[in-house]
Each structure stands twice: as C-alpha cells, then as structure tokens.
Chains A and B, each alone.
Chain A
C-alpha cells in the first residue's frame, strides 16, 4: 500500500514538474512557440508593419511545414501600433503580459519602436526589429533587443561611401525632415563630417510634395556630381520627374525606403528619368526577380490579392535570422538561451538580405550590408554592389 502511495506521489510530482518546466518560459509549449509582432497594420505606413508581418508569417509557414523548430510550430500574434508611440506601448504590453509571447519580431516605425524599447527591456523579452531604423533602438545595446534592419546610421554612412566611391566630389542632399527623415539626416551629416566633406547643397522637401521645381533649380545651381536622397518614394519620384524636365541628371542615390527600383521606375513614369538612379536595399533582389519565385508564390497563396513587395522580404529575412537563433538555442528553449543564440549569430545567410547576419554581445545591429540596386530603363533590376559598413 505504501509502495502504491509513493508511486502515485512520484507520478504526480513528475506530471506537475513537466508542464511547470515548460510553463516557466512564456509562449513556449511542447509543440508551439508564440511570437508577437507589432507595427503599423492600418494607416499610411502599413508597408512597414503589415507587409513585413506577412513576410514573417510565410517564413514561419515554410518552417512549420517541415515540422517546425525542434518539433515546435511557430505562431505569430499581430498588434497594430498605427505608428503612434502610446499605441505601440499598449501593443507591446499586450503581447508581453496578455498574449505571453516568447519573443517579438516587429517594430515598423522609428518613434514607436524607440518608445517601446524601455518596456521590452524592462520585461527582458527578446525582440528582433524588422523594419524600424532609428539608431536609438539598438544603441546603446539593450540586452534582449536586436535589429536585422539596416539602421539609419549604417545606411547614411553607406550613401556617402557609395557617392565617394563613384568619384563624386560635389555632393548634395535632398531630405525630408519628419521623424523618419530626421533619424537618417542627423547620421548622414555625421557621415559627411567623418569624411571631411561639406555638402554643396542641402534642400528639404515635404513627404506629400507634388512639385519639386524649386528644389531642382536650387540643386542644379550647386552643380553636384551626386544627390543623396533621404526621402520617401513619392517625393523622390516627383524630384526625378522635375529634374529630368530641367535636364538635371546627376548620380542620384536613394535608400531603403525606395528599395524596389522596378516599382520606383513605374512611379516616376518618365522614360529615362531613373537612368542615373541607384538605391540601397535591405534586400538583394527585386520582388520580380526569378530567385524570389518561391516567396512570390507563398505570399500570393496566403494573402490573395497581394503581390510580393520588398517589405514582405524584410520580414522574410528577419524571420529567418530569428529562426536560426531558435534552432541554435536548442530544444530546451528559454529566453536566455535564445538571447545568447541571437548574440552568437555569425554569417547567417537569409533568402533576401544583401549580406550575412552577424550579431555580437556588444553590437546588436546585425545587418550591416546594404545592397545597391539599379535598373536601367526597360532592363532588369541589377545588384550593383553590397557595401559592408563598419
């Protein structure tokens, strides 16, 4: 009788200990890992949130079809932040305390991500940023926060580096001064300073501009060899259209907001206007590239009516880096092991990013390889170079 009692007690203890061990890691069960995501799902900036999340989800689906990671399937819980800091904090709190996610893959808008940083850091939840570029998200590094997005200072340094490498001596700037533009403009000026270069002209344009004639005329007067654009696709298209009208065709250098030269050429809609345009992309392919066939099919199948975009590709690359760390963390998954695995990622190849993903314990900006894309009018999108930035 005593033996039966001991056996029963032992069984109960074992049954209790099993789930308890799993329960210690939020968002992880024997067969699933819950990942949270926040970013703009609604509103004008949905590209940086909803589309990137769609990319994350198809990347998860692919791995889930093959049995998941260490036998666990990945699920994605989405929260909208509307690019508003207060809403982002609420979204992050909901993911952490209500949804009890294991980690976060998200962050579409810079200010929202900066505002959410303290909350994530306090809760010690792992977060892999997929689109927000503000340096303040990862610098100084927070123990659990990593970014696979090209940060603003990396892109700005690459823009100046590229202009110089193309022999440009007189360099001008056309920038927007909203939160997105500011996050890039300040490090751009720092990059100029480091190179000992003074821009020959520095013009501003609004995100909703319909005419860029004054900017074109003032820039033309400065006679630059290259113009660095720190603007969204719409004002960039207006600028190139108006510049072509005035026969002003310097080397024009974009950044990752204009990451799809094919779509941009359509947007400019003026033959030859983009012939001197080259842009940074976080990803090394255009969505129409044959290499992207697998992902194009996956996106169109899961989200009928959608076409693969570069923002989907941001999500795919970021999710692949996150999944590499999940694999490296092993089957006994904890947040601490995952963070250690993220910090130890070295030369991880993804299907979309320009370069390899490498993180360290002291530098959580894991993507430092902007890809340069160019599209000759009527021709295919070509990878011009990948510029690793230190």
Chain B
C-alpha cells in the first residue's frame, strides 16, 4: 500500500490529474493549475542550482523575468511568432545564467547571494527604466499564441504546453541529477576544494548549474508571458524570489520531488489563503514558520520517514552533507 503512495506513483498521478483538469474545472482552476506547473518548473530549476550545486543565488525571479520579457518583446517589437520567440527568450535567460557562473567562481555563500541579489535588482531596474524597449513600469500586452490547426483555444493550448514542458523538464532534471553531472554538483556543494581534488572542473559544473537554472526559469517566463498576455515588472520582484526560495525549502532542498511538492503546496496554499482576505500575509508567514519548525528538511523528508518509495539519489540530508550524498546514492 505504501508503495502506491510512493514518489513516482504520486507524481505520475499528479501529471494525469493535471491533464484532466480542463475537462471538468472552471477557467479559474485551470489558470491556477497552469500557474502551479510554471512554479514547478521554476522550483526544479532553482533546486538544481541551490539544493544540488549549493550555489546560494537570488536571481531566479530575474531569470524568470528575462524569459518573459525576451519572449514578449520579440513578439511585440519584431513580430516574431511565439514559437520562435519563446525558445529565444528562454535561451537568453540561459545565456545570462551561464554568464553568472563567472562571479560564482570567485564568490560563495553570502557574497554570492549579495551579488546575485544585486543582479536581480539591476534587472528589475532595466525593466522599469529602459522604456524605449521594455515599455517601463506600465508593462505591455503580448498577443495570445495560436494553436491552429489544433482545436485548442489559447488558454488551453498554453495549459497543455506548460504540462508538456513541466513533465519534460522534470524528467531531464531527474536524469541529470542521477548522472555524473549531478554527482559533480553534490561534490561542489559539499566542498569545493575536495571536488577540485577529485578532478571536478568547478567552472564547468557551476556554469552548467547556473545555465540549467536560467533555462528552466526562462522557459517558465516564456510560458508566463503567454499565460497572462501581459508582462510588467511587478511579476518579477523580491516577492517572487522569496516565493521560489520558500518552495524549495518547504518541499525539500536538494530534492526534485521536494521541488514539485513545495511548488504545489505553496501555490495551493496561496490560493486557499485568499479566504483570509487581509490577514492572508500573516497566515502565509505563519504557515511557512510551521513548515520550517516542524519539517526543517522539507515535506519530502517527512514523507520519507513515513512512506516507502520517497528515497531519492543525492538528496541533501541536514547535518551530514558528506555522508548524505554517498549514503543515499544508488548504485
């Protein structure tokens, strides 16, 4: 029975349930489901960088914004169709992510956090003030993509595109963290000097982590611009950054299942807390505290203690970094 409640079964059921949502739910629920999938992509990308590679970066919301702005602006300024603009926007975010690996080679911990935070603020400043290109603080409307000849309206098309992207990106991340690259990420996280001594090229693997994280955020941004048909700076501010970080902490740092569980939990909690009206922020803060106090290793760690099938290769275990990678890695 507990096997049935295992990670893979539940994730597969989740994907099936998400695929079925538009057949019975109203457009509000479909919209929330779509947002949930974008947050899963963002959380998985961020967890690769922070949870696996151990890089304390705070630029995920900026990368998300670069993907959205890149996609939207290519459509609006140059008339590029969505299917070309979206990959271009995502690639732009990935390239900027790759470039961030340079300072990450020399900086770590709080210094890296500050540098990436400064980059995020700079990006927001560009969105706000480079008005001839970004339309400034007022944002801009993006044309809805067409899914012809498929008989899908734009909102459903984006929904299923997001579902496909989410499933593919989670599967790719799953394979990457189980590969030599994933083991290199964990080695860097647990000790850069030791990793170098093992022959791991720090710059190469940090670049891969930053690039992957940027690509995931960029893809989420490209989908976000089509989901909203509107792009403005408010969507990529510090609140977003905190939300992405909270998702991976609540779900479980260094756990892909944790990213999915954390993104799902917080998206649904935020929507459910709408009922609390003006005390919503207090309730959200209190719930985060409950998670941090009672599940410090994330929901996934609590599930692992109670259910079989939640073991994960290279998952981070608090207090035993060196042992964790080895102990939990599968042959």
Contact = CB atoms under 8 A, between A and B. Distances in A.
Interface string A27-47: 000000000000001110010
Interface in B11-62: 26-29, 31-32, 35
B309 to A, nearest CB: 33
B27 to A, nearest CB: 5
B157 interface: no
B143 to A, nearest CB: 11
B281 interface: yes
State the majority secondary structure of interface residues on A: helix
Contacts of A94: 28, 274
A101 to B, nearest CB: 12
B264 interface: no
Contact of B235 (A84, A91, A97): A84
B265 interface: no
A83 B234 contact: yes
Interface in A70-89: 78-80, 82-86, 89
Contact of A93 (B31, B139, B234): B31
Given A177-B128, A183-B138, A46 B278 contact: yes
A85 B139 contact: yes
Interface in B108-138: 128-129, 131, 136-138
Contacts of B31: 89-90, 93
Interface in A53-69: none
Contacts of B280: 41-42, 80
A332 interface: no
Interface in B223-280: 224, 227-230, 232-235, 239, 271, 274, 277-278, 280
A115 B72 CA distance: 14
A179 B230 contact: no
A282 B233 CA distance: 28
A179 B278 contact: no
B224 A179 contact: no
B279 to A, nearest CB: 8
Contact of A182 (B136, B224, B229, B271): B136
B305 to A, nearest CB: 34
Given A93-B27, A93-B31, A111-B138, A179 B229 contact: no
B32 A115 contact: no
Contacts of A86: 35, 224, 227-228, 235
Interface in A86-125: 86, 89-91, 93-94, 96-98, 110-112, 114-115, 118
Contacts of B239: 82, 84
A90 B224 contact: no
A110 B138 contact: yes
Contacts of B224: 86
A98 B137 contact: no
B277 A80 contact: yes
A364 interface: no
Interface in A172-204: 177-183
State the majority secondary structure of interface residues on B: helix
A179 B139 contact: yes
A369 B277 CA distance: 33
Contacts of A181: 137
Contact of B139 (A41, A91, A111): A111
B57 to A, nearest CB: 23
Contacts of B229: 118
B283 to A, nearest CB: 10
A113 to B, nearest CB: 11
A177 B129 contact: yes
Contacts of B138: 110-111, 114, 134, 136, 179, 182-183
Contacts of A180: 137
Contact of A41 (B131, B230, B234, B278): B278
A112 B232 CA distance: 9
Contact of A79 (B29, B139, B274): B274
Given A85-B232, A111-B232, A90 B32 contact: yes
B137 A177 contact: yes
Contacts of A335: none
A257 to B, nearest CB: 15
A79 B155 CA distance: 22
A115 B137 contact: no
A365 interface: no
B18 to A, nearest CB: 17
A140 B9 CA distance: 51
Nearest to A92: B28
Contacts of A177: 128-129, 136-137
Nearest to A136: B138
Nearest to A41: B278
A84 B228 CA distance: 11
Contacts of A114: 138-139, 141, 230
B230 A42 contact: no
Given A84-B234, A111-B234, A118-B141, 5 more contacts: A41-B280, A85-B139, A115-B139, A118-B230, A179-B234
9 shortest interchain CB distances as A-B pairs: A179-B137, A93-B28, A97-B26, A115-B230, A97-B28, A94-B28, A182-B137, A111-B232, A42-B281
21 contacts: A43-B281, A80-B278, A80-B280, A83-B234, A85-B230, A85-B235, A86-B235, A90-B271, A91-B274, A96-B27, A98-B26, A111-B232, A111-B234, A114-B139, A115-B228, A178-B128, A178-B137, A179-B233, A179-B234, A182-B136, A182-B137
Interface of B: 26-29, 31-32, 35, 128-129, 131, 136-139, 141, 224, 227-230, 232-235, 239, 271, 274, 277-278, 280-281
